[in-house]
Amino acid sequence: MLAEAKSRVRPPPVLFHSLDYLVFLPLTLGAYWLVPERVRLRVLALGSLVFYASWSIGYLPLLLGVVLVAWAGGLWIEHANRGGLRGQGWVVALLFLPLLLFKYWNWVADSAEHLMGFGEGISWIPRSSLGLPVGISFFTFQAAAYLMDVRKGAGAERNPLRFGTFIAFFPQLVAGPIVRMGQLLPQLSKPQLLARGDVGEGLYRIGTGMFKKVVIADTLRLGVVGPVFQEPSAFTSPEVLVALYAYTLQVYCDFSGYTDIAIGSARLFGIHLPENFRRPYAATSVSDFWRRWHITLSNWVRDYVYFGLGGARVSSEWKVYRNLMLTLLVIGVWHGASWNFVVYGLLHGVAVCLNRWLRKKHGRPTGKQPPGVWAWFWRFALTFHFVVFARILFRAPDFGMALEVVESLLRAEWAWPRFSLVCWGLLFLGYALHGVGDSVERKVRSAFVRGGPAFWALGLGLLAALCMKIGAGESVAFVYYRF
């Protein structure tokens, strides 16, 4: 195993929480707002290409290729719709080809050979040695949604520059939110103007995102989650349990922190991106969880997979369960090419089906609040712990490690966990902030917005100092970049 050890390729560059971004964002903003209105789109497009090139210049042609295929494909589908032609599905399939090759090919080949009984070292299916292009799942899904919307009758975008900016808009390019054509193209089609509060709200979102990512997520990753998941057997069961809670919070703070910065950055350009999270760990069922977690992906899969299969309007109840299972399976596999994610998706699928079955049995309609505090509490606790334990599959690189985590958890020895006070403090603070109600959050946000430029600069300056003091200082890539 050690002979296979190799250095990792250096982490990708313009991370949202890096000094590079601190320079890149004001430069792009300055250029965007200073140039005449008619060239602003070009500035945004150029900035987005530079941003992606800084990550992976080698994959820039791939991004441009996806943009070209989706743009031309959209026009062709629109033309074909008018002429009553069929077979537009091939354009969508063509769009998914790079994703299949870069992300899933090796896994499919490994699994196929394994199923056919080929031994270790024997291989007849060629493998790809190319790394995964950053953000490929996000921009492919965004482009595919566009094509499917056009297929359903939405008008195709004729301006390639506007369409390219829609796919490659840098704040949401590498890790979402997955934006639909109706959410972004209209905004790019008209002159951009900042509305009252855009700058303050944008900076507030950037600040909260930085805090979540640098202070909470990275500190928990380095101080608790990293060591425990690296070697679960070296830790006691309470420590493994705490690490699972910490990882659950880390993933949330990491991904929602990224989303906050993306939404905040876009606001500074006068562009509104959709929300991706709505206090997901306060969910009272697994279905509810997916309505709160990575909302733009859940909506995508709901609209194009679940509804595509017939959703709940099918001839028999078991077909609804089949559709739910397939939908959650797609969500699982979207996260990565491994059996861990297959099982992760299936587990969530079973939970969603069970939830539906119980709801049907008791005649409770969807979305109805549980009756009373106790009814709410046990549903919340059960859902939360289901999510926490399913995260083992999400974090562990393979089944072996997942099993090791479970074994360490079940040793059931009691000893106070050895984590630093800072980590304990951030763990409690993180969950407390997650639990804060929307009204409180709104009040804090509007107080910040009212503060004005000097207050914003002071607030974000103090936050930067805190990040340098408490944060790891390393530019640790966001978890969802690898998807």
Partner 1 sequence: MSTPPMSHRRELQDLGVFLLFVAAFLLEALVVPDLNAYKPWVDGEPVPLLHFVEEAPGPSVADINSEASPPGWDQEDTGLAADSWERLPHRPPAHPTSLEFEEGLMDGFFQGLLEAEVGQPNRIVRVLHWGDSTIAADGVTGTVRSRLQDVFGDGGPGFLPIKVDPRWVVRPGIARWPKGDWGSKNITQGGASFRRYGLSGIVAKVDGRAKATLGGMKVEGQRQLTHRFDVHYQRQPRGGTLSLSADRAEPLRFSTSSSEVGDAFVTIEPAEGAAYLRLYTGSDGPVTVYGVSIETQGPGLTWETLAVAGSSVASMRRQNLTHLVGQVERRVPDLLVYQTGGNEMEYDSFVEADGEAFMWEYLEVLDRIRAGAPEASCLLIGPIDQAIRVRGQIVSKPLLSKMVELQRKAAQQAGCAFWDPWSVMGGDGSYARWLNMDPPLAWTDLMHLSKEGRALVGESLADAILDAYDQWKSVQVALDTAPPGFTAR
- Residues of this chain that bind partner 1 (CB under 8 A): 1-2, 4-10, 13-14, 18-20, 22-24, 26-27, 29-30, 33, 54, 57, 129, 131, 193-200, 203, 221-223, 226-227, 230-231, 233-234, 236, 239, 268, 413, 415, 418, 452-454, 456-458, 460-461, 464-465, 468-469, 472-475
In the chain the first and final C-alpha atoms are separated, in Å, by 26
Task: Give residues with Cβ within 8 angstroms of 481, minimum separation 6.
Answer: 12, 134, 135, 174, 175
Of 227 and 274, nearer to partner 1 (C-beta) is: 227
Shortest spacing between CB 367 and partner 1, in angstroms: 30
369: phi then psi, degrees, rounded to nearest 5: -65, 140
Q: Which is nearer to partner 1, 317 or 398 (CB)?
A: 398
Question: Measured from the CB of residue 121, what is the shortest distance to partner 1 in angstroms?
Answer: 16
Q: Dihedral through CA 226, CA 232, CA 235, CA 239, nearest 10?
A: 70
What amino acid is encoded at 113 in this protein? E
Question: In whole angstroms, how close is the CB of 107 to partner 1 at the nearest point?
Answer: 17
Residue 228 CB, nearest approach to partner 1 (Å): 10
Q: Between residues 69 and 132, which has the closer beta carbon with respect to partner 1?
A: 132
Give the residue among 2, 55, 51, 54 at the shortest CA–CA distance from 27.
51
Dist. CA 327–CA 333, nearest whole Å: 10
Q: Are 112 and 267 in contact (CB under 8 A)?
A: no
Closer to partner 1 by Cβ: residue 50 or 68: 50
Residue among 30 and 89 whose Cβ is closer to partner 1: 30
Which C-beta is closer to partner 1: that of 61 or that of 461? 461
Among the listed residues 364, 379, 170, the one whose alpha carbon sits nearest the alpha carbon of residue 266: 170
Contact 472, 217 (CB under 8 A): no
Active site residue: 17, 335, 348, 434, which one?
Answer: 335
What radius of gyration do the chain's Cα atoms show? 23
**Cα angle 108, 112, 113; round to 5:** 120
Choice between 14 and 390, CB closer to partner 1: 14
Shortest distance, position 8 Cβ to partner 1, whole Å: 5
* Minimal distance, residue 19 CB to partner 1, in Å: 5
Placement of tokens 């709940």 in the chain: 312
Is the separation of the CB atoms in 83 and 75 below 8 Å?
no
Alpha carbon distance 218, 283 (integer Å): 25
Minimum CB–partner distance for residue 475 and partner 1 (Å): 6
Q: Is 28 helix (H, G, I), strand (E, B) or coil?
A: helix
Active site residue 348: no
Q: Are 431 and 242 in contact (CB under 8 A)?
A: no
Contact predicate 103/133, CB 8 Å: no
* Alpha-carbon 198 to chain mean position: 24
Active site residues: 335
